[in-house]
Amino acid sequence: MSRIQINKTSGTGYSKVIALDGYVSESLDPALKDLIFLRVSQLNGCNYCVDAHAVDLLGDGVPQRKVLAVAAWHHSEFFTPRERVALEFAEALTRLTSAGVPDELWARAGDTFGEKELGDLVLAVGLINLWNRIGVAALLQPEAPLEASPER
């Protein structure tokens, strides 16, 4: 059986996911949202989403070196304290253990973002995990890669 196009096979449900995506995009800073989306997509191995959110970050004006450093953000000085908490929180929520999100991390995230924005972060991480699973299940691929610049 070939892979499905979920937007066609499950159009009503897909439209609800699109609506949540719109809410998340309006409620969070675009660069912060895309940092989270890129990191979670890296963890989940969604090639399509990694490409899309790296391109989005570049479009948000994030420097290329910072985009490239997302995979190793723990060891990079390119990220603000706020971004670091968001990335750590996104990783913890994506890599759930039986203990869930540690209380200490939840408290730091709450202090950093406040109750509403923390709720929006939970929705954003849940959303990108859903998008990643759709992308991986459907074997979505990014557009053809750009040619490397001969100048360096």
Q: Where are the domains of the chain?
A: 11-137
Residue 108: pLDDT over 60: yes
pLDDT confidence tier of residue 59, bands split at 50, 70 and 90: very high
Geometric angle at alpha carbon 146, from 141 and 148, rounded to 5°: 135
Distance CA 22, CA 132 (A): 17
Distance CA 131, CA 45 (A): 12
Residue 148: pLDDT over 80: no
Percent of the chain with pLDDT over 70: 95
Question: Which two structure tokens, joined as six digits, stand for 76?
Answer: 């990079």
Sorted by sequence, the CB contacts under 8 Å of residue 50 that are 6+ apart come out as 38, 41, 42
**pTM of the model as a whole:** 0.92
* Overall fold of domain 11-137: AhpD-like (1.20.1290)
Distance CA 16, CA 58 (A): 27
pLDDT confidence tier of residue 152, bands split at 50, 70 and 90: very low
Question: Which two structure tokens, joined as six digits, stand for 26?
Answer: 């309006």
